Amino acid sequence: MSARRDATRVLFRIAFRNLAASPVRTAILGAIVLVGSLIVVVGSSVLDSIDRGMRTSIQGSLGGHVQVYDARSEGALELYGGLRGESLLEPIEDFARVKEVLAQVPNVRQVVPMGIDQAMVATGTTFDSALERLRDDVRRMEAGDRGPERLRQYAARVAHVRRMVGLLGADLDQARAIADLESREIKSRAEEFAAVRRAASEEFWAEFEGDRYAGLEFLENRVAPVAMENAFTFIRYVGTDVDAFFRAFPLAEVNEGERIPSGQRGVLVGKQFAEEWLKLKNARRLDQIKDQRDRRGKRIEEEEELQRWVRENRSGVKEILLQLDPVAAEEVAAVLRRALGAGGEEGLDVLLQRLFATTDRDFDEKYRIFYDVVAPRIRLYKINVGDVITVKAPSKSGYFSAVNVKVYGFLEFRGIEKSGIAGMMSVMDLMSFRDLYGYLTREKAEEVRRLKEAMGAREVERDRAEAELFGAPAAAPAEARSAAIDERALVRSGGERAAGAQELGSRVYSQEEIEHGVALNAALILDDARPRAIRRTMTEVRAAIEGSGLGLKVVDWQEASGLVGQFVTLLRGVLFAAVLIFFAIALVVINNAMVMATLQRVKEIGTMRAIGAQRRFVVAMLLVEIAAVGLVFGLGGAALGGVAVGIIRALGGIPAVSDLLYFVFSGPALFPTLGRMPVATSLAIVLAVAILSALYPAWIAMKVTPVEAMATED
Amino acid sequence: MLRVDLQMAARSLAAHTRRNLFLGGALAAVTGLLVLLGALTSGMEAAMTESATTLMTGHVNVGGFYKITSASTAPLVSGYPKVLEEVERRVPELDYYTVRGRGWAKAVSESTSMDLVLAGVDVAREPAFRRVLRIVDGRLDELGRPGTVLLFEGQAERLKVKVNDVLTLSAPTDRGVNNTADVRVAAIARNVGLLSAFSAFIQADTLRQLYGLNVTTTGAIHLYLKDAARAPAVAARLRAELAAAGWRVMDPDAQPYWMKLMQTVPSEDWTGQKLDVTTAEDEMGQFKQFILALRVVAALLGIILMVVVVIGILNTLAIAVRERTREIGTLRAIGMQRGKVRWLILLETALLALSGTAAGALAATAIAAGLNALGIALPESMQIFLAQERLTFLLDPAAILSYVLFLSAVTVVASWFPARRAARLRPITAMHHVG
């Protein structure tokens, strides 16, 4: 026993002496091992953190742990949208059955119905909101409020609307330069042009005082639709059982406003979407500058992008000016004059330009002034909490359907607020989704087909097909509301819209009504969400589906995430390939170095053999040498990797420079963490490569015979 | 004399087959790897640039925005014939130009719908179309007829339409009202990556009518130069000269037009027409960034490989010289000079390096050609970034030659030290050497 220990001690001593004797060689070997282990440690810790971020983002925002959708679907489910639009899914006709079957599977905590789609939203124009305010004044006056303050206000609002009508006239002239005056459309709009001309005339406003409601109606119905402004936007939404959705996705929270009340229709608009697409551009740019300054430590003086934003803000004040009636404009101007220390003669346009001409010195002050003074008096977002909006989408059968829903609040996913992928998502109630989706059950479709045949389907215009054929959507036949609507309905004044939605908006649907009907896919939330448990549950879910003949496809959250998931797989593939190539080369190089070293020591090895060292001893000696180098420098590399990770964290993480990265990192920056696993794996890999590459030289050493070796003279 | 030296070098190489195969193989592998990496990046870049400059942008574009009100924006150039006249006079570098309408619409088929970015084209005046677009069904000339569109395979598949089927285009205008037009599918072309995901071509007049625009209004004028590298200079000059000639011209902003259309221009105060002169580089900004990232990764990988390989070569050559110490000693003993020994070893290395790298380059070329011929489809996430559907390697002979020569040179330089060491050996020690 002790002899063996002695031998081992000698073995180690010789091995370490050898390493110390040729420092250059040891350094070369060590450097290779060090770099290799550094790459593995940092790379795998970054990838691990990305994995974690992705999992948080997807599981917490939309994906759940497992997704099911109809197996007959042509496309695959892509929760975050595909290259050519939304996934082409066949609908699940009766979600309640799916829920009934899948809820029985052990480990399944919740089954959440979903339908993801895009829709167009009418946002209303500045002109619309000016008219709305005027109508409000008129209503109060007609109700008997004729105080001087009211009259002053009314006069200001009339002046505001008249100014806008005047501008509209100028706009129309502007349009002439590019419009095809011979086209069908322009001819049909001759009436509209006439209406604008009338609204701009003195007579019209003289008459207006006589019958204000009639005047307002004319303005709302005949003039407002002519206003050329981006009066619509697109939202991407998920129609779902809202209560179940919030239970299932803990990251989701309402940032402003409230949740959609149980069983009611409504929509929660994605906060990030609202910031990017619905907010007044100048305010948005101020936010962006603030964000860059506060979070990234950027300075306006140094960053070209920030300078561009300031420039754009200065040259974009008209949108604010147009929204202010003379009274409000004077109020704002007075405050700004004081705050900016300007002379009494400067107009509001100049004052606003001065307000937006921000520098690093006065940015915070001006930012505050904007939000304290200007923002409360203007429409900061095109859609506000409490508005009723018209949402319109091409339905399954090609015609457009529309619903009116109330905006209950803005939706945010905690931790990934700024992600353009999750944050763009809005949540809508399932009933409204079904109306927009306009799916016909098989019996209904068959009936339509027969009707079509009877009538000669080609003669029915697609836009009107539904209205002519049955006049009501299949999903909710009681409410004939999503029938093909006149295009104009989208730009109708707010008052009219609100009236239409009121009855439906306040209706409370029972859980049964919500669940018995169409959904496109369903998210399963599991109790135990470890990868292995997910796989096991997926097998069980498949079996349950098989048993009940539901015909559903089962995918895990990563597959359901579509392109986003593929991107991370790609990233992992690139890193893996890089590491593989590196180690392949390292293998060759270490091998070479060891062969070299062995040949150099042929004589020495021969001597050792001559004085009684066994072949095993020689081989063990070489392996101990390389293992020692591997271990020491591998650990060193891992430690360096740890330091690198620490430095990355200390410098504020790897910044998410794009929306995709924001989502992938599940936050504004990636903070890689050093897991025990990456360190252990990297050490194991490095040691394996090192020992593997020492095998050939060990074999050479083994074949050295004492006689041959001792004959050599070096 | 050289012939004898070469013979000797070749004989020594042949004598140590295993070791030389080892080193030669390593050199070949690295050369092959570098060639493949390079061919992949330039393949991507070439495919991207060619399809983009034909389908999406010219070398230089004279586009612009028309704002009817300060709150609205349309990507239009009004009175374009006059602009065109001016441009033709001012740009002698011009090879040819095309006039493109710019639009956006929802395409609705019998079964489904999707969003399409529409480019209005006059197909008779698009000389490069035939080269870049691979028509799989229908005829390109048909696109010259009013009321026709050209779709890419992926779009046709999604919409489930074939040639001669009818689609309804529904284009939202600033008033929130949709203008619609029924169009016939004239031809279906093979996908070209991200560019073909959502952009399609429509006969120019049809697009104009969809938006109710007059004949003198279009989306942009794409200019193709005889020398694409002149684009930035031409764009800068054109910007100044158009402004001097009385047009309102926007400040340079290296972003694609649709970003400006959606993000910046709608909130600007001005109304009426402004021209915007951009280069292909501006319009393709995001793709270019990706290519740059790819190149950086490839270069980094290349450098790490190089360093490791140079260390390996040094080592292997040292072994080689060692193994032949006795032989060198003998040569010296029978009268060979030190310089000659050094020269022989360098020559030998050079031979080995050249044949190794050449073999690697050849193998890589064969692999690349094979993969090109196989036409391996890329997964969709790769397609987005690479702007191509299939794995394509572009083999540039000059680049390959430079890899071969560079690696050979590195190897020869690396062999200098062992060669010097061998030359310094005393014949007597060398002849006693075992190894």
Q: Tell me what the mean pLDDT of segment A309-314 comes to.
A: 89
**Tell me: the pLDDT tens digits for B82-100?**
999 999 998 999 999 999 9
CA distance A462 to chain B (A): 10
Closest CA to B65 of B76, B79, B51: B76
The pLDDT of residue A128: 83
The pLDDT of residue B403: 85
Q: Tell me what the mean pLDDT of segment A140-150 comes to.
A: 84
Per mean pLDDT, which range of A306-320, A342-356, A529-543, B9-23 is the poorest? Answer: B9-23
CA distance A469 to chain B (A): 17
Contact yes or no for A400/A489 (Cβ under 8 A): no
Picking from B69, B174, B261, B385 by the largest number of A CB atoms within 10 A of its own CB, the best residue to mutate is B69
The pLDDT of residue A543: 92
The pLDDT of residue B435: 45
Q: Tell me what the mean pLDDT of segment B296-305 comes to.
A: 76
Locate the chain B residue with the closest alpha carbon to A564.
Answer: B381
**Mind giving me the DSSP string for B247-300?**
--BPPP--S-HHHIIIIIGGGSS--EEEEEEEEHHHHTHHHHHHHHHHHHHHHH
Reported ipTM: the value is: 0.72
| Nearest residue, CB atoms, A171 vs list B68, B197, B309 | B68
CA distance B180 to chain A (A): 11
Contact yes or no for B190/B392 (Cβ under 8 A): no
CA distance A607 to chain B (A): 14
Residue A476's pLDDT band (cuts 50, 70, 90): very low
Picking from A88, A308, A571, A588 by the largest number of B CB atoms within 10 A of its own CB, the best residue to mutate is A588
The pLDDT of residue B263: 79
The pLDDT of residue A492: 41
Taking the C-alpha atoms of residue B378 and residue B380, their distance in angstroms, rounded to an integer, is 6
Residue A38's pLDDT band (cuts 50, 70, 90): confident
Contact yes or no for B36/B242 (Cβ under 8 A): no
Helix axes B17-55, B338-374, angle to 10 degrees: 40
Q: Tell me what the mean pLDDT of segment A88-114 comes to.
A: 91
Picking from A40, A88, A178, A490 by the largest number of B CB atoms within 10 A of its own CB, the best residue to mutate is A178
**Tell me: the pLDDT tens digits for B366-422?**
998 898 888 777 766 666 666 666 777 888 888 889 888 988 888 888 788 778 877
**Tell me: the pLDDT tens digits for A409-468?**
999 988 777 776 777 889 999 999 988 888 765 666 676 677 767 665 444 444 444 444
Look at A398 and B297 and tell me if their CB atoms are within 8 Å: no
Residue A286's pLDDT band (cuts 50, 70, 90): very high
Other beta carbons less than 10 A from residue B2's beta carbon: 7
Stretch (H or E) spanning A479: none
Taking the C-alpha atoms of residue A148 and residue A142, their distance in angstroms, rounded to an integer, is 14
What global pTM score does this model have?
0.77
Q: What is the dihedral of CA B188, B194, B195, B199, to 10 degrees?
A: 60
Taking the C-alpha atoms of residue A468 and residue A462, their distance in angstroms, rounded to an integer, is 10
Chain B hits for A592, Cβ within 8 Å: 312, 315-316, 319
Closest CA to A656 of A204, A146, A103, A53: A53
Look at B179 and A185 and tell me if their CB atoms are within 8 Å: yes
Residue A575's pLDDT band (cuts 50, 70, 90): confident
CA–CA distances in Å: residue B290 to residues A50, B34, B41: 20, 20, 11
The pLDDT of residue B362: 93
Beta pairing partners, A119: A235
Chain B hits for A664, Cβ within 8 Å: none
B152 phi and psi angles, rounded to 5 deg: -95, 155
Taking the C-alpha atoms of residue A383 and residue A271, their distance in angstroms, rounded to an integer, is 11
pLDDT over 60 at A714, yes or no: no
pLDDT over 50 at A675, yes or no: yes
pLDDT over 90 at A69, yes or no: yes
Chain B hits for A582, Cβ within 8 Å: 304-305, 308
Look at B194 and A83 and tell me if their CB atoms are within 8 Å: yes
Q: Does A179 touch chain B (CB under 8 A)?
A: yes
The pLDDT of residue A480: 34
Give the DSSP letter of residue A566. H
Picking from B65, B68, B305 by the largest number of A CB atoms within 10 A of its own CB, the best residue to mutate is B68
Locate the chain B residue with the closest alpha carbon to A391.
Answer: B176
Q: Tell me what the mean pLDDT of segment B308-323 comes to.
A: 71
Look at B106 and A603 and tell me if their CB atoms are within 8 Å: no
Q: Does A316 touch chain B (CB under 8 A)?
A: yes
Q: Does B432 touch chain A (CB under 8 A)?
A: yes
Residue A481's pLDDT band (cuts 50, 70, 90): very low
Taking the C-alpha atoms of residue B150 and residue A496, their distance in angstroms, rounded to an integer, is 42
The pLDDT of residue A475: 36
Taking the C-alpha atoms of residue B66 and residue B88, their distance in angstroms, rounded to an integer, is 22
pLDDT over 60 at B17, yes or no: yes
| Nearest residue, CB atoms, A316 vs list B30, B269, B316 | B269
Q: Tell me what the mean pLDDT of segment A365-373 comes to.
A: 92
